[in-house]
Every structure is written in structure tokens, then in C-alpha cells.
Amino acid sequence: MTINYSRISAFVFLLIFLIYSYLAGEIKVFAFDENADFNARTFPKLISYLGIAVSFLTLVLSKNEEENLSQYEWISVLILFVLVFTYGLLIKSIGFFISTNLFLIISYLYLGVRSYKVIIFSSFPVVAGLQFMLHGLLDVYIRDPFLQLLGVIS
């Protein structure tokens, strides 16, 4: 049996479903439900049996698939991931408008956009338009300290 990415992923899934199975058995149910025909543990246990069975079969039956994972742009995706994460961190503290524009501008610059006209027209009007639609038309309130400070929203 040769090791390939399919087998490794199947093994990881096998471990996940084994842990899931263990955790399913640990779900605390009410005393009167302990011996019931169907309680909060039953369905997760059935899923875990299915998951274990199919992961095991994949592990055993997987064929060699040529997949060169080094050819992909891992770094760029990870940087975008960090940007999304940071966006999530900032959205509450500095507000929707500034954090979103910052996210868009930094992402454009990182991905190689150099025209300031394009950067500005693809960020501020888009965010302002969406915020107007949500706040002004659909009555969806988004807390925004910056726009509150400017008196744009109450």
C-alpha cells in the first residue's frame, strides 16, 4: 500500500470520525432518556459508523492520484486568509465602512492592482452603495463608529 494524498486525507477523516464517535458516546442525556430507543446520542453514533466505514474504505481502496500540491499559490491564499481574519478583527472596533475599505484596498494592492483610479472606484462607491442599500433601504443596522462620528448614520 503506497502513501498518497487521498490515503492521508482518508486517514485524517478516519481519526476525525473515531473521535466523533467517542464524543457522541459522551453526550450527556437525561436520566429518563438513557435507555430510550432514540436519544441525543443515537443519530451522531449512526453518522460516526457511516463516516468510519467510508473513510476506512477510502483508505484501503484509494488509487494513486498524481497531485503536485507544490504548484499552487499557497502563500497568496494564506495572505488573503490573514487579511480576511484581520478584517474580522477590525470590523467591530473601527466599524464596517473603514475596515471594509481597508480590506479591499490592501487586497487590491497585494494582488497587483496599481491604478489608484481602479482601486478607489472599486472600493469606496461599492462599500458606500452596499451600506446605503442595507441601512437606507433594507433597514439593516450596521454599527459604524466612524460614520456615527461624521453624523452620516445615527
Partner 1 sequence: MIEGILIGVNTAFSGYNILMVMMGCFAGTIIGMLPGLGPMSAIALMIPITYGFDPASAMILMAGVYYGAIFGGSTSSILINAPGVAGTVSSSFDGYPMAQKGQAGKALAIAAYASFSGGTIAALFLLVAAPQLAKVSLSFQSADYFALMCVGLLSIAAFASKGQFLKAMIMTSLGLALATVGQDSLSDITRFAFGNINLMDGISFVLLVMATFAMSEAFMIIFKKMDINFKSSDVSKSSLGSIKLSKSEVKEMVPTIGRSSVLGFLVGVLPGAGATIASFLAWGFERSVASAKEKIKFGKGSIKGLTAPETANNAACTGSFVPLLTLGIPGSGTTAVMLGALLSFGVQPGPRLYVEQPELFWAVIVSMYIGNVVLLVLNLPLIPYIARILAIPKNILVPLVLFFSVTGVYLISFNSFDIYFMAVVAILSLILRVLNYPMPPLILGFILGGMLEKNLRRAIIINDGSFSFMWERPISLALFIIMILIISLQVYQGFKKNNP
- Under the rule (CB under 8 A), what is the footprint of partner 1? 5-6, 9-10, 13, 16-17, 20, 23, 27-30, 33, 37-40, 42-44, 46-48, 50-51, 54-55, 57-58, 61, 63, 65, 67, 69, 72-74, 76-77, 80-81, 84-85, 87-89, 91-92, 100, 103-104, 107-108, 111-113, 118, 122, 126-127, 130, 133-134, 138-140, 142-143
Residue 122's CB is within 10 A of a number of other CB atoms, namely 15
Least distance from partner 1 to the Cβ atom of residue 108, Å: 6
CB nearer to partner 1: pick between 89 and 149 = 89
Considering only CA atoms, which of 6, 26, 25 is closest in space to residue 66?
A: 6
CB nearer to partner 1: pick between 143 and 150 = 143
Q: Which residues of 134-147 are buried (b: 16+ CB within 10 A; e: fewer)?
A: ebeeeeeeeebeeb
Lookup result for grid cell 454599527: 143
Amino acid at residue number 149: L
Contacts of 102 (CB under 8 A, 6+ apart): 87, 90
Least distance from partner 1 to the Cβ atom of residue 128, Å: 13
CB nearer to partner 1: pick between 112 and 151 = 112
Reduce the DSSP state of residue 111 to 3 states and report it. coil
CB nearer to partner 1: pick between 1 and 138 = 138
Lookup result for grid cell 492592482: 113
